[in-house]
């Protein structure tokens, strides 16, 4: 063993002692290395140095299911590849294909086999082809597996190793503190070869929680990461990772062992010869979410979960006060880390991240407005037995079809403004396919499938979609064209690097949300102004401190800006990217 290999083993062993104090950390360290780097693979001699070169202003991500586009004749992954190449090449360079494995429920998040591609979508060569053209993100659904998968069947049969794969508890245990994202009972009684057991189910009774106290569970997931990386995955999304480690008598969320496991995975990724980015999915309030950066040694990237409810509120109310107040208090991502910014996703618009950021009456007005446009609300159970809104279920496009005032003629401009804010902020922008395609709420799917989230999981018939995109007057064509144009413009601006300097501008007018971005080399500045209201708003030039002896230009409006003029006027929902260098 070389000195460098010994050093890596020692670093791994230190983390393993935190996670498994009763296991021989040196032996387990060797097993970890063999799981992540099996025979025939290589690793770096030194860990990748933390920096800002894992991403750039060129990066933007599409979020989609493997079957968001269908036609009844071709493999959905073939259609997705065609859509990406035909409509988004040069616009977005990355794609998150939501769980594309065999599953039994929750649209892929009850995985029955992590090593196969769902045959209804395609196969590994179809995934490889997409990964050859776009940076690919996949889901590591590591908190739970399907109750009908081979792992749980082996557990029920009492097969060695698998008989300790799943977390058990007793109905007599004190589970009152457990944080729940759902209202279903936490425990499920099952009959096993070793007698009756109660297994832990954070999300549903078809999604059985794994027991990471068994090191074999961790080793198996490291082997799965290797398989996915070997098939072209470059971004690994750690789904529901906050719930990973459980202890009876605790909230069983954000426990120290969970953070240590993420640190271990980050260490392995930093030694990988391939570029691997870890993204944590933790739909929780701000401080809890930020904790997954650790000290720069945990996740490479985290979702900016407060953005969806805060942007939705700003656009509905015409008031960016709460968005600005939150953004002003957000720290820059640590070195080697980045935010993933978004408004719409396959899930609903989470309300937990808005806790402490929006007053209760403002949240209630959002809920009522979403209901008025036909949206739904999903609840979560609280420790005292009561329920609280967990998420709003609607497409983001339909959600912005009205404001607190009612319906108006600004729907399109309001929606484009909401997505432009995502493009302007520090971090990597991500867009759900149904935001890019102005998809309306799918009430038929809700009725057919009996789940609120189906409202935002429409499956487009590809011939129909192509016809709509060929019609420049359709909402689908208008939104895709406008968002694509801004994304193509954005990728040319060094001031939009995910780690470029950001400062929240206080304009003394809550109708305009403004931020200043400066490139890493300090050569380019961009003042990004977003009118979140239906008013014509005048902003004093002095408020954004344009240097008078420089030429300033609005990239979006393709117009020069006179720095000596007293005022800048924004039309309803207008956005400006005012720069000194184009």
Q: Which helix (H) or strand (E) holds 370?
A: helix 360-372
Torsion angle, CA of 418/423/426/428, rounded to 10 degrees? 120
Backbone angles phi, psi at 456, to 5 degrees: -115, 20
Per the CB < 8 A criterion, the answer to whether 135 and 153 are in contact is no
Strands 144-146 and 207-209: antiparallel
Q: Which H or E run includes 341?
A: strand 338-341
Q: Which of 558, 155, 203 is nearest to 381 (CA)?
A: 203
Tell me the β-bridge partners of 191.
196
Picking from 33, 6, 47, 34, the residue whose alpha carbon sits closest to that of residue 271 is: 47
Where b means 16+ CB within 10 Å and e means fewer, 28-61 reads bbebbbebbbeeeeebeeebbeeebebbbbebbb
CA dihedral 311, 290, 283, 389 (to 10 degrees): -70
Q: Which of 139, 209, 239, 442 is catalytic?
A: 239
Query: Which residues sit in the known binding site for substrate?
Result: 106, 144, 237-239, 346-347, 453
Question: Annotated binding site, which residues?
Answer: 106, 144, 237-239, 346-347, 453
- Burial tier of 221 (Cβ tally within 10 Å: 0-12, 13-18, 19+): buried
Give whole-number Cα distances, 408 to 402, 479, 538, in Å: 7, 17, 21
Instruction: Kindly report the backbone phi and psi dihedral angles of residue 54, in degrees, each rounded to the nearest multiple of 5, phi listed first.
Output: -80, -15
Query: Rounded to whole angstroms, what are the CA distances from 525 to 207, 508, 544, 545, 582?
Result: 48, 21, 11, 11, 10
CB burial class (10 A; 0-12, 13-18, 19+) of residue 315?
A: buried
Is residue 172 packed enough to be buried (19+ CB in 10 Å), middle (13-18) or exposed (0-12)?
exposed
Tokens representing 492 are 């040319």
Q: Can you tell me the distance from the alpha carbon of 214 to that of 200, in angstroms, rounded to the nearest whole number?
A: 15
Q: Is 209 a catalytic residue?
A: no
Strands 135-140 and 94-97: parallel
Rounded Cα distance between 412 and 417, Å, is 9
Just list the catalytic residues: 239
């Amino acid at each position: 063993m070389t000195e460098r290999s010994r050093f890596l083993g020692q670093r791994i062993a230190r983390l393993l002692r935190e996670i498994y104090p009763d296991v021989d950390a040196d032996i387990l360290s060797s097993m970890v290395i063999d799981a992540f780097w099996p025979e025939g693979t290589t690793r770096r001699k030194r860990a990748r140095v933390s920096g800002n070169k894992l991403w750039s202003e060129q990066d933007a991500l599409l979020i989609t299911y493997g079957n968001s586009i269908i036609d009844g004749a071709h493999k959905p992954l073939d259609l997705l590849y065609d859509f990406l190449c035909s409509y988004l090449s040069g616009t977005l360079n990355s794609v998150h294909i939501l769980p594309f494995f065999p599953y039994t429920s929750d649209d892929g998040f009850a995985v029955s086999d992590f090593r196969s591609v769902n045959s209804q979508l395609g196969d590994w060569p179809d995934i490889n082809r997409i990964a050859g053209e776009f940076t690919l993100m996949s889901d590591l659904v590591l908190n739970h597996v399907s109750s009908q998968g081979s792992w749980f069947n082996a557990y029920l049969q009492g097969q060695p190793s698998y008989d300790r794969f799943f977390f058990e508890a007793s109905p007599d245990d004190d589970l009152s503190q457990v944080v729940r994202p759902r209202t279903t009972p936490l425990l499920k009684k099952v009959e096993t070869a070793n007698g009756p057991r109660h297994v832990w189910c954070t999300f549903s009774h078809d999604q059985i929680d794994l027991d990471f106290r068994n090191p074999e569970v961790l080793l198996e997931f490291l082997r799965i990461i290797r398989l996915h990386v070997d098939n072209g995955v470059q971004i690994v999304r750690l789904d529901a990772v906050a719930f990973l480690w459980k202890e009876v008598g605790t909230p069983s969320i954000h426990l120290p062992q969970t953070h240590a496991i993420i640190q271990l995975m980050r260490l392995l990724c930093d030694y990988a010869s391939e570029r691997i980015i870890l993204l944590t999915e933790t739909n929780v309030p701000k401080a809890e979410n930020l904790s997954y950066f650790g000290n720069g040694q945990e996740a490479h990237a985290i979702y900016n979960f407060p953005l969806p409810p805060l942007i939705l509120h700003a656009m509905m109310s015409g008031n960016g006060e709460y968005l600005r107040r939150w953004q002003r208090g957000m720290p820059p991502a640590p070195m080697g880390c980045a935010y993933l910014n978004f408004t719409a996703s396959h899930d609903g618009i989470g309300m937990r991240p808005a806790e402490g950021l929006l007053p209760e009456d403002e949240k209630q007005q959002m809920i009522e407005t979403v209901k008025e446009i036909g949206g739904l609300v999903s609840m979560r159970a609280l420790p005292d037995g009561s329920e609280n809104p967990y998420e709003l279920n609607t497409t983001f496009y339909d959600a912005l079809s009205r404001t607190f005032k009612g319906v108006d003629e600004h729907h399109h401009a309001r929606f484009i403004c909401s997505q432009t804010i995502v493009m302007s902020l520090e971090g990597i922008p991500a867009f759900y396919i149904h935001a890019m395609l102005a998809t309306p709420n799918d009430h038929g799917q809700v009725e057919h499938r009996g789940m609120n989230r189906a409202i935002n999981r429409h499956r487009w018939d590809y011939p129909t979609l192509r016809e709509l995109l060929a019609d420049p007057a359709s909402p689908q064509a208008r939104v895709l064209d406008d968002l694509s144009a801004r994304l193509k413009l954005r990728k040319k601006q060094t001031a939009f690097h995910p780690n470029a300097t950001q400062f929240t501008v206080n304009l003394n007018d809550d109708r305009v949300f403004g931020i200043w971005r400066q490139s890493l080399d300090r050569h380019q500045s961009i003042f990004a102004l977003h009118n979140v209201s239906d008013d014509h708003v005048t902003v004093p030039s002095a408020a954004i401190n344009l240097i008078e002896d420089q030429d300033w230009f609005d990239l979006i409006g393709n117009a020069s800006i006179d720095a000596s003029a007293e005022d800048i006027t924004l039309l309803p929902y207008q956005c400006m990217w005012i720069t000194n260098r184009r």
